[in-house]
Amino acid sequence: MKNPTMALPSPPDDFLLLIISSPSGAGKTTLCNRLRGEFPDLRFSVSHTTRAPRPTEVDGREYHFVDDDTFQEMVRIGAFAEWARVHDYYYGTSLQEIELARTRARGVLFDIDYQGARQIKAKLPEAVAVFILPPSLAELERRLRGRGTEDEKATRRRLKNARGEIEHYGIFDYVVVNDDVEQAYGKLRGIVFAERSRRYRRASLCEALLLETRDKV
Is residue 9, in this structure, part of any structural domain at all?
no
Is residue 173, in this structure, part of any structural domain at all?
yes
Is residue 95, in this structure, part of any structural domain at all?
yes
Is residue 144, in this structure, part of any structural domain at all?
yes
Alpha-carbon span 50 to 67, nearest angstrom:
5
Count helices and strands in the chain by DSSP H and E runs = 8, 9
Q: What is the pLDDT along the chain (217 residues), one digit of tens a residue?
A: 444 444 444 445 678 999 999 988 898 999 999 999 999 999 999 999 999 999 999 999 889 999 999 999 999 999 999 998 987 899 999 999 888 888 889 999 998 889 999 999 998 899 999 999 998 888 888 888 877 667 778 778 878 888 889 999 999 999 999 999 999 999 999 999 999 999 888 888 888 889 887 766 6
DSSP 8-state symbol, 27 = S
Is residue 143, in this structure, part of any structural domain at all?
yes
Q: What is the structure's pLDDT at 13?
A: 64
Domain hosting residue 51, numbered range: 16-216
Alpha-carbon span 69 to 201, nearest angstrom:
41
- Asked if residue 182 lies in contact with residue 188, where contact means CB atoms within 8 angstroms, the answer is no
Q: What is the structure's pLDDT at 143?
A: 80
Is residue 1, in this structure, part of any structural domain at all?
no
Within the chain, what is the greatest distance between any pair of CA atoms? 73
| CA proximity to 38, closest of 181, 179, 185, 201 | 185
Q: Give how many domains the chain has, as a whole number.
A: 1
What region does 58 belong to: left with phi over 0, alpha with psi -120 to 50, or beta?
beta
Is residue 132, in this structure, part of any structural domain at all?
yes
Q: How many CB atoms lie within 10 A of CB 163?
A: 11
Is residue 7, in this structure, part of any structural domain at all?
no
Alpha-carbon span 163 to 137, nearest angstrom:
8
Q: Which residues contact 95 (CB under 8 A, 6 or more apart)?
A: 4, 5, 6, 8, 78, 79, 80, 81
- The pTM assigned to this predicted structure is 0.79
Q: What is the structure's pLDDT at 128?
A: 97
Instruction: Report the CATH number that the domain containing residue 66 is assigned in CATH.
Output: 3.40.50.300
